[in-house]
Structure 1
């Protein structure tokens, strides 16, 4: 009997998962533990590994299609082996009835679909494949008993459809000038989620960005002075990002209007600071959340940032670790970017963009001194607060960073 491979549950809140890409095709050999497909939920994308060694007998869920957790997405076994029965827990469309009668009816599962005045005989698997591929079953010539449409008939129809589309696309490309030809990539998985969320953010909020420069010369000196003590006592290294996160948390406590969300024409003010830290990964951008950040010391906050960032880069974040943020920080300083316009992470009211530190001569009284400057960009929702309170929040962040000892008290 073949082995079922099911859609994993990526977090407690997951209702549907999508097959982003198949790494193997029907007939390919697979080893136990070998990645055979990538699946994604709203925020997470992971590889699905084969539970057994064998041949990929059938793909039940094509790329781009969503199914609930536990649904069978493919079968692994030996060529010609009988398919395992579909798990009853995912047959949400089957009517409830007498168990014995259901068993008796299974051999006669050929499903008949009305098309005009005729009825088309088709197996459930073939019907599902046709629906997923957008194939009109009334146009398929069945080769099974009594003209019944089999999965092989659908596969052949899909093959012909793909070939036809490929020919049409090739004709379209030859009609273009060479300079106009472009490589195409279907948007799916995390990239598709990000595209939708960012578009909705700009469409549904009143976003405004203000910039400010912060003198972090003393902060860098404090960071160097405490580096050895922090390493010896806590086995940790405090980064500029850690200090910025601490300054933001303290400022949010002073300016609760920024630690809020606009939901259904109501402003929700949060008692706790759940800080989102944007992390760039290979397939897009994820935002792990440090919950109850106001209860963390500077060292504890630093450890949480590093731990979640590492989990994000290796794809081990859970859905719960990426939900519930009340304010987000996005740092592009490592890329040499100074000022930029971060986009709100709905329904949050604010996001802080952090640029690269640069050195510049600054007058201190009559003296010209070399100072280290940190560019900050605050995007806020103008529906929630106006420019003055937003500027006051940014000013608080600036004061903490320019007087870093206050973050340690």
Structure 2
């Protein structure tokens, strides 16, 4: 059974073999994870569709086209043994009966070197012919198998693992770090390259501007203290900050629809639905899965949706459909301690809200200086379709809804 790189979307044409979870020649069971592949949009695992012995044909760090065969599962095949040390002398006997099993590498190498495996005395389990048996058969001047042992060893390695393409070519090749004096160089992963391209495009192709405000988080903190225990018992998830901001943004988008719009050629396309992207940082980089129809979601649905996406990112099960079609994005740098930043628009969207860390700060209230839990908010927007007045108004609405969430945000 062949293992191929699956299609994950029309725009995805190649994938990086990021990691093999199993060794070449190892026994695998059905539905067991075999390897991890990475495209310019998602990382995913390929599972075994049958039990058997795995034979790897494409090594880690190689970029291949969608549909490429990267390995084979031989049902009922005997797992490989540890390689036998290379001998300097040919076997005493070169005649033997049919071998119980020939691995794909042995068959291919024997064919290339013009050696009939049945004429060799196999040293593997059950008398099967191994790669080293073929190497030893090529020691000395023996016709097609002639060559130095070292050269033969290189030949079989190239058979098992084809040479890695030049990184400057169409494929990225090996991602192994390369030390160059006092620096280490490693090629970007497909996802990191894609992130770099999109961020650069956002800076170059939009008239991006950022406006700032701050919100008093006291009311939300008190609500969470009061309702979190009941909320968690009822819905099985904790009540965090994000549902409040999702709901606040939805309400603000209804009042300022340009922030829920995009440019398409010479047209402005305004969305009458609210698919909110939530920026999630994973091991491979930043991804933005989308909460569909966020205006119809209860607080618990939002928390569960975010938790599901976080688990998908952690286990590399995020699908391309999870990332497509957002109309507005929220990025929470506060979970990493960021106090203030300018988030970058996620094209083709026209605006993104940046949340930051909650910090006790002195503020003026009714003519007095008091200490309040404050959060800086940042709205980056495309000035081509969103005017400064609208941007400031949008952010003020978010601030109002966050500071007075009882009537505006809570549902039942």
TM-fit CA distance, 1:402? 1.0
Give 1:183's aligned residue.
184
C-alpha separation in 2, matches of 1:30 and 1:159 = 23
* 1:56 alignment partner in structure 2: 55
Unpaired runs of 5+ in structure 1? 84-142, 145-150
Does the alignment pair 1:18 with 2:15? yes
Q: CA RMSD in A?
A: 3.3
C-alpha distance in 1, partners of 2:243/2:337?
A: 18
**TM-score when normalising by structure 2:** 0.70
Cα distance in 2 for residues equivalent to 1:347 and 1:365: 43
Q: Which runs of 5+ in 2 are unaligned?
A: 78-100, 106-143, 146-153, 167-173
Q: Relative to structure 1, is the Cα distance of residues 82 and 364 closer, same or farther in structure 2, using a 3 angstrom cutoff?
A: closer
Is residue 392 of structure 2 the alignment partner of residue 391 of structure 1?
A: yes
Distance 1:6 1:364, change over 3 A: same
- In 1, the alpha carbon distance for the partners of 2:393 and 2:328 equals 16
Structure 2 residue aligned with 1:73 = 70
1:7-406 alignment runs, 5 A limit: 7-10=5-8, 13=10, 15-21=12-18, 23=20, 28-32=24-28, 36-50=34-48, 51-54=50-53, 56=55, 58-59=57-58, 63-69=61-67, 71-77=68-74, 80-81=102-103, 155=158, 173=180, 181-405=182-406, 406=408
CA distance in 2, matches of 1:224, 1:382: 39
| Corresponding residue number in structure 2 for 1:111 | none
- 1:358 and 1:22 map into 2 onto residues whose CA distance is 41
- The Cα shift of 1:14 comes to 5.9
Q: Alignment length, in residue pairs?
A: 326
Cα–Cα, structure 1 residues 5 and 367, in superposed 2: closer, same or farther, change >3 Å? same
Cα distance in 2 for partners of 1:228, 1:199 equals 43
Secondary structure, aligned partner of 2:201: helix
Q: SS of the counterpart of 2:183?
A: coil
Q: Is the 8 A contact 2:339 2:357 kept in 1?
A: yes
- Cα-to-partner distance string for 1:351-397 (whole Å, 9 max, x where unaligned): 11110000112222233322110111111111121211111111110
Q: Distance in 2 between matches of 1:366 and 1:82?
A: 82
Q: SS where residue 41 of structure 2 aligns?
A: coil
In the aligned structure 2, how far is the partner of 1:368 from the partner of 1:57? Answer: 68
TM-score (norm 1): 0.70
Instruction: Please say which of residues 29-38 and 219-228 is displaced more in the overlay.
Output: 29-38
1:237 CA displacement? 2.3
Partner Cα separation in structure 2 for residue 35 and residue 218 of structure 1? 46
Distance 2:56 2:316 in 1: 28
Distance 1:262 1:190, change over 3 A: same
Determine the C-alpha separation between the residues in 2 that align with 1:161 and 1:271: 47
State the Cα deviation string for residues 308-345 of structure 1 (Å, max 9, x = none).
22222222222111110000111011211111111111
Residues 64, 188 of structure 1: 8 Å contact kept: no
Q: Tell me, yes or no, if the aligned pair for 2:43 and 2:317 is still in contact at 8 Å.
A: no
Partners of 1:263 and 1:400 in 2: CA distance: 31
Query: Structure 1 residues 260 and 189, CA, compared in 2 at 3 Å: closer, same or farther?
Result: same
Write the distance in 1 (CA, Å) between the matches of 2:279 and 2:234: 28
2:28–2:54 Cα contact (<8 Å) kept: no
